[in-house]
Amino acid sequence: MGAVIYLLLVGILQTISLIVIFQQLSQIKLTIMEKLALLVDMFVAYFCIGNGVVLTFIPLLYYFCFRHRLSSKVHLVFFYCIYSVTFFSLAGNLLTSIVALLLDNNSVSLLLVMPLPILMNALVLKIFQPDFTFLRNNYYQVKKSFLVGINVLIFLICITQVGSYLWEKRTGGIGVLRYVITLLFILIIIVLMYYLNLKIRLLNKQQVEMLREQQLLQLLQYTKQVEDLYNEIRGIRHDFVNIIKSFGSAIQTNNMEHVEKIYNSTLRKLGGELQENKYDLINLSRVNVSSVKSILSTKFIEALQKKIEIKLEVVEPLDELYIEELDYIRILSIFLDNAIEESEKLKNPEITIAIIVDAKIEQQELIIENRTDGRKINLNLIYKKGYSSKSKQGGLGLSNVREILRKYDNVDISTEYEQGIFTQKLAIRKV
């Protein structure tokens, strides 16, 4: 009876260690049913294949990632699974081996060291601080070859470790070689984590540099457009002065026919020109976040060039962002790209952009509306990867938006589709 209870405790503690290590790495919160499934697998697989039980965790954890909507990020998901299982196995093996060597397989001591792999993994992550959130959010923009290489190496380590278990069981022991192999593998895992951290930092730096170059180019385009608008306004001002002079002469001579002619031929046309949406670009002067101004100006100019009627409303100054700048401009770019692509197909395209800043309640809103061709759009599917319905109003872009917003508790996103008008609203509260 005592042996059964001890075995139960060992299985429970080992399962807890694996779950925590996986959650530390992937930031995925497993459900109670998923945790129970791992516990059942621990006992069933152990009695069926013995020490090879660790290999059965890999497909199970992969399935859990699929349930948590990460199946498209194959190489990253496999890294989460293979690293968690391998580190759990190596650290647990090393610690129990040391206890067995020093304390002669003391049962209580073995139970006490079983949660220690959690602390070891936490220490590794604390030292190297790999930004897995960046890798997860930018998965589709980075080359996967470095992840593939790391995954292959860790998988080989895992297979070799399991093989050493089976060899030890068959031969009765491999002596000090077991400790050397385990320690060597742990060191290799740590080196790989260090390399992964350097690679992620490099990718992050490259993306920031690329965004800066794009931002500079966009600001140059914005500056040129503003200069063109300024020159147009100067020309209109010159025409307006001449019109006023003509009005003065006609009024002095009481020539109302001439006044009417001037109004119909020039002043009415001038008023129409001043109502053109291209002058909304001046509203960007209230956007004081340079990266956001760059994206807005670029997309605004792109829409004008494609003969799309576009309106921009910025009533209060936007001086700061309540989420990370990179995340905000990525979401803004996705929304605007979708709206422009949809509008290109229409006879009377129209896009409205509104940025609302409420200083009293410390909340910002981003609202983007665009006309569609009136077809049916399933709002329950648009945030799923691959959805398109002959349009880019959904699919990979919006699935990325949801992935970006997963880490924020201060953001609400809503989507509306009524009478052929597609609306995206992003409300961001200050924290």
Position with higher pLDDT, 428 vs 304: 428
Q: What pTM value is reported for the model?
A: 0.60
Residue 392 predicted with pLDDT over 60: no
Q: Tokens representing 255?
A: 């020539």
- pLDDT for res 369: 92
Name the one residue in this structure whose structure tokens are 């290109």. 344
The predicted-structure confidence for 152-187, as pLDDT tens digits, reads as follows 988 888 888 777 777 766 766 555 666 677 778 888
- pLDDT for res 426: 93
Report the share of the chain in percent with pLDDT over 70: 74
- pLDDT for res 243: 58
Alpha-carbon distance of 287 to 318, in angstroms, equals: 5
- Please give the mean pLDDT across all residues of the chain: 78
- pLDDT for res 275: 46
The predicted-structure confidence for 308-332, as pLDDT tens digits, reads as follows 888 888 888 899 999 988 889 889 9
Name the one residue in this structure whose structure tokens are 């992969």. 62
What integer is the mean pLDDT of 249-275?
Answer: 57
Q: How confident is the model at residue 135 (pLDDT cuts 50, 70, 90)?
A: confident
- pLDDT for res 231: 58
The answer to whether 415 touches 372, Cβ cutoff 8 Å, is: no
Report the helix count and the strand count for the chain, using DSSP H and E: 14, 5
- pLDDT for res 189: 83
- pLDDT for res 274: 44
Residue 4 predicted with pLDDT over 80: no
Q: How confident is the model at residue 410 (pLDDT cuts 50, 70, 90)?
A: very high
Alpha-carbon distance of 56 to 349, in angstroms, equals: 54
